[in-house]
Structure 1
């Protein structure tokens, strides 16, 4: 889900965050010296991104990000090119703090805050020096995590392959004006996207091109992707469209919109099938939490699929993706913190029971606008209950 938080979120999004006049350089003399093993503090405001140090030794780094501004913010550690996202933490509300744990090798990086989660980012160069020790796990644990990474990459490739096939079928129906078939295919096809969205976010601007909501569209930007077509398939009344009568897309516009979705999905497949594509264990663990954050900030609120009300398909897919990410790492978690493993197993099962009561991907789900307030609250509470132990997954896996 690519979105801007309303008033009511890699693993990683590869965003182009240009240097801006408001950029606040990192201060190597500030407090929070990572060389002593302490967390690197980040203070995000509406016009500043104050990082407590401009460099740290290679190894496991923890960025403690505090939002001191008035808008929701997010924080990134970007690669040397300023495009590749090593990892990110999203949806940090005013007054709240979140930790981002990464395993960083020596090199040049960029730190970046994005207050309001829209517009230009505020970034500064960040150097990781050579600590002289190997970055990442060693011994038997290294072998376990290498197997986990290979398993997860295979899962991603499988889901993206299914997404490509489903997208083509959906696009053909939509472009041909077969709205009934397109509506039937919409949610079930998007499941494959939602299961691996943190991975998809790591490749350039594919996420906003494919999954941007209308509410998050910046002035003057062109809207493309699934939610543009969603609105055309479930056309709103004037009351639901800002008082304006909705104008359906023309046949030519339909064809172009369908072609854009197919082309950008094909780009995603090219990226995940690249022999160099991989995800490290800490990225998989961060991605599991990011997927649950997606549920909390878009699906539980009913804002993701505002026209079709198919949010429960997305909800289930995000939970599926988070569960798979945990499962490939579960052996290491069990060895290092059996109580955490037990808690995660229990909380995933409790949340799944609530979703199963509303249907399944195969048979269909209850329309989100048909859920009672009590049912929504129960789902939200189960997400919150799972979120706490899942937030400890990365530190457990990395041994931080």
Structure 2
């Protein structure tokens, strides 16, 4: 709960120390909730929480890279932090209303993870009680809606080309359709049952599961050029995208999710696109890179007025860093798109990696500023 919106009966000192019932509402504790992850355990220091904004601080004491998630009862993801290396600690900010949730650590970033129960009780003043944050959520939801429409339209065209055996057209449409996906990937990924069906790479598919989605068709297009067996995969892709678009247009978002999503998109670039492993057959990784950057900036732009009020220095730093990344990326334009990733030199990829890391530092501070 933000100090400038405290009820008169709550003191700043009391809020800093504990969660209280005040004026009929509760305020969340301000200290971090420690999560100790290992290869075999996921220990959350507190599993009963007051409603409001919380920060989970996840330390990986195992030998495998891990992830941490907070799931709502319907299976949607309310907060996540990925790529937590052994011996490192990363934070995730989450705004939670009363209800039952699950925490999950995923050592090796596979499967359903090691799950535990989280119970949230009481009421708290929503972050969107701040008009600037409410406007930010509304603006970003409009952005998501527009990109969702584009995703469905271009995925439908892409699937039609695949079913018609028009390899050249399908190759042309593949990165265009994925651009819309990558811009709103954090929202799309929050529906955990659909994301793997749409965007899994071959090594992401667990034993006994069928590989479907964009990357399955990508492999066939660029390795053999034979998509004659992909009609069913194309139809399923359209059906899955149609459902995720429906959900994306009605999803409830917290301002914290906008901030966390912008950081997640940069993490996607730093861990996937910059290595060339995401689009490993088509080498259209720079299309995804650019889309992730655009999506991250859209979230920050939606939060602009709130950030200007709460931390104008951070907003100035973000604008400068975004401009630096865009300038480095623009060197690799090709027509209306981007060069194949394989045409970049080691110096090129090092420059892109450095500027992304430079942007990641200030963007990692946004969620805490929004949540306070």
Q: TM-score, normalised by structure 1?
A: 0.83
2:32 to 36, 39, 43: 39
> 8 Å contact 2:201–2:278 — kept in the other structure?
yes
* 1:136 Cα deviation from its structure 2 partner: 2.2
Aligned pair in 2 of structure 1 residues 321, 384: CA closer, same or farther (>3 Å)?
Answer: same
Q: Among residues 61, 85, 106, which one is paired with 1:114 in the alignment?
A: 106
Kept in 2, the 8 Å contact 1:191–1:314? The answer is yes
> What does residue 223 of structure 1 align with?
211
RMSD between superposed Cα atoms in Å: 1.8
C-alpha distance in structure 2 between counterparts of 1:273 and 1:374, whole Å: 41
- Does structure 1 residue 377 correspond to structure 2 residue 350? yes
Please report how far the alpha carbon of residue 249 of structure 1 lies from its aligned counterpart in structure 2 after TM superposition: 5.3
Distance 2:131 2:18 in 1: 32
Counterpart position of 1:287: 261
Aligned to 1:343: 317
Contact 1:104 / 1:135 at 8 angstroms: preserved in 2? no
| Structure 2: distance between partners of 1:303 and 1:190 | 15
Q: Does 1:190 align with 2:178?
A: yes
Q: Deviations over 1:16-48 (max 9, x none)?
A: xxxxxxxxxxxxxxxx99876321100111110
Q: For 1:37 and 1:162, how far apart are their aligned partners in 2?
A: 40
> CA 1:52–1:169 in structure 2 vs 1: closer, same or farther (change >3 Å)?
same
Q: Which range moved further: 167-176 or 315-324?
A: 167-176
Aligned residues: 348
Contact 1:175 1:254 in 2 (8 A): yes
How many Å separate the matches in 1 of 2:154 and 2:207? 31
Offset at residue 135 of structure 1 (A):
3.5
Deviations 1:52-77 (A, max 9, x none): 12212222211100111111111111
3-state SS, counterpart of residue 230 of structure 2: helix
My pick for the range that moved more, 68-77 or 308-317, is 68-77
Gaps of at least 5 residues in structure 2 are 1-16, 20-27
Equivalent in the alignment of 1:97: 89
Give the 3-state SS of the residue equivalent to 2:142 in structure 1. Answer: helix
> Does 1:334 find its partner at 2:322?
no
Residue of structure 1 aligned with 2:201, choices 184, 206, 213: 213
The answer as to 2:367 corresponding to 1:391 is: no
2:109 maps to 1:135 = no
The answer to whether the Cα contact below 8 Å between 1:312 and 1:368 also exists between their aligned partners in 2 is: yes
Q: Given the alignment of the two structures, is residue 363 of structure 1 paired with residue 336 of structure 2, yes or no?
A: yes
The two structures have a TM-score, normalised by structure 2, of 0.90
Corresponding residue for 1:232?
220
Partners of 1:98 and 1:117 lie apart in 2 by: 15
**Which secondary structure does the structure 2 equivalent of 1:234 belong to?**
helix
Which position in structure 1 is the counterpart of 2:243?
267
Q: Which residue of 2 aligns with 1:27?
A: none
Q: By how many angstroms is 1:129 displaced?
A: 2.8
After TM superposition, the structure 1 stretch with the greater mean CA deviation from structure 2, 197-206 or 93-102, is 197-206
Residue deviations 1:232-267, cap 9 Å, x none?
A: 0110xxxxxxxxxx7x7562x221111111111111
Which of 63, 67, 84 does residue 70 from structure 1 map onto? 63
Range 202-211 or range 288-297, more displaced:
202-211
Partner of 1:12: none
Report the counterpart of residue 292 of structure 2 in structure 1.
318
Structure 2 counterpart of 1:160: 148
How many angstroms apart in 2 are the aligned matches of 1:103 and 1:256? 39
| Structure of greater relative contact order (alpha carbons < 8 Å, 6+ residues apart) | 1
Query: Displacement of 1:137 after TM fit?
Result: 4.8
Q: Secondary structure at the match of 2:31?
A: coil
Q: Check whether the contact 2:200–2:212 (CA below 8 A) recurs between aligned residues.
A: yes
**Is the Cα–Cα contact under 8 Å of residues 128 and 134 in structure 2 kept in the other structure?**
no
Alpha carbons 1:33, 1:52 under 8 Å: kept: no
The separation in 2 between residues aligned to 1:250 and 1:318, in whole angstroms, is 28
